[in-house]
Structure 1
């Protein structure tokens, strides 16, 4: 069974109907675990009630949380508001636990056994977590699939962090709002979505680039010239929180299981659409079948 890791922020999304556990790497780990992988979260929480609730909920969801460390900072929170289409806007608290993820011997051992890891730019806003993420990536074996889900939020990113992350990645996943920002920071001047993705791929020697365009469509491109374009299914949206993370997780799990590009893309599209019909980033799958 593939060993897959989400490293970075774990936090509580405070939604209009109440709080839900989230954070892109934690969401990724949850969804990839439901796709039949051995998934783990590398992050940090505080010595507080929200930290206790984090461990309790992760245990309830049968998640490996031994790499989620207690640190002397409060557990992260994000205030989430939804627009008329269910699309979230985020107010992210600073100086929190996931800004201070420690790099320990057991985390180093995990890195050495990792088949795939997903990371982003948000958790690299602070030097401590950025150092831990970079050390983890550098300790993975050569065949490990390193997935950069850029997850640009507010002003918590920079050209340096983005470029260094792209240099360490094999797979890039981004959305239509992030594409022009990434292109500008990466000094890519191509025109058209597919051409920009291809130029970024070539510049940073990536194997796959995935572009999601919300309710319209998504693209997946490979370094050997393959391209897959799929329309987004029309569903009754509860909210879109975690849908992009579910997309990345389903795609990664499918690739690890030997699926081709179009098969992996189809699984990602189907899973993401289902998550849009649910509330929160880590809903139960119920009757939905991932296999």
Structure 2
């Protein structure tokens, strides 16, 4: 019998206000192009993953830091709407909340620049203060939009507490911290991150997964956009290909976070890695059909059917 935990998923990570504009084509160097009206919405990789898991019914908490400005309240409101536990979000007086400036092209793909703001002051001391919360969580999900020392502290604390650690190494570093890598079960990477971390520019998803497991990750998931995903579990001889689901992409912003949040939620419920990835592919597919990050995340009732099932 599995030990009962207070939370299914604890996300330790960033919270950003997303400032999004859509363009007919991306500007070249030194060029100005017209765009749509600016849209402000809740985002940040950590907050996105928490919102995705919470919308799916997982008992979810977020450890993050925001400012006491209007953007901070925007982020808190987004998490309340999703159903995330907010008592562990730190609101810093006089600080500026992190922001992300997002340009979305006509194909739905995006370019993003992040200004960290209060995210840069989520420190290892904050992780130490939350040790009991981490121990009370089945899965702890991490990304790299907060200081590296904080990510490492969270990975070590979660591993020592017996929580399963999900690591999404984004933005991809030149080299992933060994303590973070060896705690990852799984390491969740997209194709760009896989190439960067393995230096296998012409590799296959399975080759990337095997290389990353060889570097120390306990298990690996490679996300492949519309093509689905590939999983390589701890000790498994064979990788598992998870087929994609056809979806008309409106905006891919935050789709990877939707996948990772859903994966963490399903792992916390006891699913195998391949089963969790199949579920997460459905969540990611639903998220690209609506604009924005958190506003696009589905509930269970809004998910597309699994491949081969009737809708």
Please indicate, yes or no, whether the TM-score normalized by the shorter chain is above 0.5: yes
Instruction: Extract unaligned runs of 5+ from structure 2.
Output: 22-37, 306-311
Q: Secondary structure at the match of 1:285?
A: coil
Greater mean alpha carbon deviation, residues 39-48 or residues 53-62: 53-62
Residue 158 to residue 196, structure 1, CA distance change in 2 (3 Å):
closer
TM-score by length of 1: 0.85
Deviation at 1:33, TM superposition (A): 1.6
Match of 2:14 in 1: 9
Q: Secondary structure at the match of 1:207?
A: coil
Match of 2:228 in 1: 217
Contact 2:139 2:163 (C-alpha < 8 Å) held by counterparts: yes
Deviation at 1:173, TM superposition (A): 0.5
Instruction: Extract unaligned runs of 5+ from structure 1.
Output: 125-129
Deviation at 1:28, TM superposition (A): 0.9
Contact 1:116 1:146 (C-alpha < 8 Å) held by counterparts: yes
Partner Cα separation in structure 2 for residue 55 and residue 122 of structure 1: 18
TM-score by length of 2: 0.80
Deviation at 1:259, TM superposition (A): 2.3
Match of 1:91 in 2: 113
Residue 191 to residue 53, structure 1, CA distance change in 2 (3 Å):
closer
Task: Give the number of the structure whose alpha-carbon radius of gyration is greater.
Answer: 2
Tell me the C-alpha RMSD between the 2 structures: 2.5
Deviation at 1:289, TM superposition (A): 4.8
Query: Which whole-Å deviations, capped at 9, do the CAs of 1:141-170 have from their partners, x for residues lacking one?
Result: 4531111101126xxx342x5444213322
Contact 1:242 1:282 (C-alpha < 8 Å) held by counterparts: yes
Match of 1:170 in 2: 185
Q: Decide which of 118, 121, 146 is 2:144's aligned counterpart.
A: 121
Aligned length: 277
Contact 1:189 1:196 (C-alpha < 8 Å) held by counterparts: no
Query: Which whole-Å deviations, capped at 9, do the CAs of 1:160-190 have from their partners, x for residues lacking one?
Result: x544421332210111111111113xxx799
